[in-house]
Structure 1
Amino acid sequence: MLFALLGILIGVGVGVFIPLTYSVEYSLYMSVAILACMDSVFGGIRATLDDNFDAGIFISGFFGNAILAAFLAYIGDRLAVPLYYAAIFAFGGRLFKNFAIIRRYIFSRRRNKKD
């Protein structure tokens, strides 16, 4: 838990004090890559709540999904075919599914504490 909080603080610090910008041309690639990363984060939270978290799987999924999503967007851009929709549907659907499971877990845990 301490490492997670430390990572969040470092990430916020880097984001605030080292402004990172990119060209508008890359916004499509960055948006699907960020969506893929968020999917991995929510999957990691869900795995933690299920006592099934594996750091190796999380790290490989985090970077692998981001690279795959950006690559799909790039290839689709070159072929003039919106392949990034595949990443949006896949990662977006899983993100909302994992969020729903996390939400249910939290509410059921609160309900059990009250009883």
Structure 2
Amino acid sequence: MWLPFLFLLIGLALGFLTNLSIPDYYSNYLSIAILAAFDTLLGGIRAHFEKKFNQHVFISGFFFNIVCAVILTFIGDQLGVDLYLAAVFAFGLRIFQNIAGIRRFLFDLRQEKIQKKMRK
């Protein structure tokens, strides 16, 4: 469970310490890819808490979500329509659902600890 956080810290450190800039043309693609990755990460954390985590589903979902979101953004660019907004809405909704599931799990865990203390 600590490994994703380690790589998150390494990624953040590399991002802040390097002088890498992304051209404006690719900003929609990168933002959608990051949103898709964040959705998959939170879904994996929620699945871990619910004891339903499957590494193959997580990895395939990670890449599939990113590829689908980028393809949707590309098609929208070709048509002159902001189709990436559909991905923003879908991933945003799922992110908040996953956060709510994680929050419920943490609250339930806290309640169980409180009840155990009261029983003693």
Give the TM-score normalised by the residue count of structure 2: 0.85
Aligned residues: 115
After TM superposition, the structure 1 = structure 2 runs for residues 1-115 of structure 1, keeping only pairs within 5 Å, are 1-115=1-115
Moved more, 11-20 or 34-43: 11-20
* Structure 2: stretches of 5+ with no match in the other structure: 116-120
- Percent identity over the alignment? 47
Per-residue deviation at 1:19? 4.1
Q: Structure 1: which 5+ runs fail to align?
A: none
Relative distance call for 1:54 and 1:114 in structure 2 (3 A) is same
1:52 is paired with a residue whose SS is coil
The TM-score, its normalising length taken from structure 1, stands at 0.88
Counterpart of 1:34 in structure 2: which amino acid? I
Higher alpha-carbon Rg: 2
